[in-house]
Structure 1
Amino acid sequence: MATILREHSEAFVAADRAVTEDLGGGIARQILGYGPDLMVVRVWFDKDAVGEVHAHPHSQSTYVESGRFEVVIDGEKRVLGAGDGFYVAPHLDHGALCLKAGVLIDTFSPAREDFLGRGR
């Protein structure tokens, strides 16, 4: 029997009850809420974990909640810490190296269907 996925998350998401997905390599993520046009995701990184350089058709804006990251966007590198942020336009190559264990809060528009098991 196929699983039917919701078009949006519940209105309220309790972090202590939301699923945390271990992505391997010292990275884990938790979807904090989404609808067709927006998704918010918490991503934990261990020191030296690598978010490989990749691109996708979504706009992405990220807030550095904690830690220290070397972020590359379209070939330009910057070191960012708690309170900093970055924006990635659709289809631009981007990635991150975690220099000090921390958390990123990613927002995507539209929602990442691949994170929900769709479009894989």
Structure 2
Amino acid sequence: MQKQSAHFLFADQTDIEDLGGGLKRQMLGYNHELMAVKVWFDNGAEGYTHKHRHSQVTYVEQGEFHFRIGDETKVLKAGDSCLIPPNVEHGAVCPTGGILIDTFSPAREDFIEAQDDAN
């Protein structure tokens, strides 16, 4: 497993992983402490409900997302963001299609391993 991304990553030279279900993901940079990821959602795509040990901040770049964190659901639009604490169930539905920028601390090892397996 690679411990750190390159210092400079160019959008047209960085792999975009098709996750299925109308979702795609592109790594924006990471080391063992921090990771940023761009995620595309097709109209109606759903980020399944899950939880993980990582702190997460998500920024809505484009579209509308119905975000659930714990027992609370809010509609987030471009320019909005949310904080997801470790081990709290969360998920999102994107009725419009859109783009999220997810940041994680520490880095999501499972994302790095999936990228390594794809290459």
TM bucket, shorter chain: over 0.9
Residue 63 of structure 2 is matched in structure 1 by 67
- The number of equivalent residue pairs is 114
Which position in structure 1 is the counterpart of 2:41?
Answer: 45
The one-letter amino acid paired with 1:16 is D
Match of residue 27, structure 1, among 23, 29, 35: 23
Alignment of 1:88-107 (within 5 A): 88-107=84-103
The aligned counterpart of 1:17 is 13
Shift of 1:82: 0.2
Offset at 1:64? 0.1
State the TM-score, normalizing by the size of structure 2.
0.94
TM-score of the superposed pair, with normalisation by structure 1: 0.93
Q: Letter of the 1:85 partner, please give it.
A: S
| CA–CA distance in structure 2, aligned partners of residues 48 and 41 of structure 1 | 20
Query: Aligned partners of 1:101 and 1:52: how far apart in 2?
Result: 15
SS in 2 for 1:100: coil
- Amino acid across the alignment from 2:34: L
Match of 2:72 in 1: 76
CA distance in 2, matches of 1:112, 1:8: 12
Gaps of 5+ in 2: 115-119
Structure 1 residue 75 displacement after superposition:
1.4
Deviations 1:26-64 (A, max 9, x none): 000000100000000000000110001000000000000
Gaps of 5+ in 1: none
- Structure with a larger share of its residues in strand: 1
Three-state SS of the structure 2 residue aligned to 1:16 is: helix
Higher helix share: 2
Task: Identify the residue that residue 6 of structure 1 maps to in structure 2.
Answer: 2
RMSD between aligned residues: 0.8
- Seq. identity, %: 53
Take 1:13 and 1:40, find their aligned partners in 2: how far apart are those partners?
A: 12
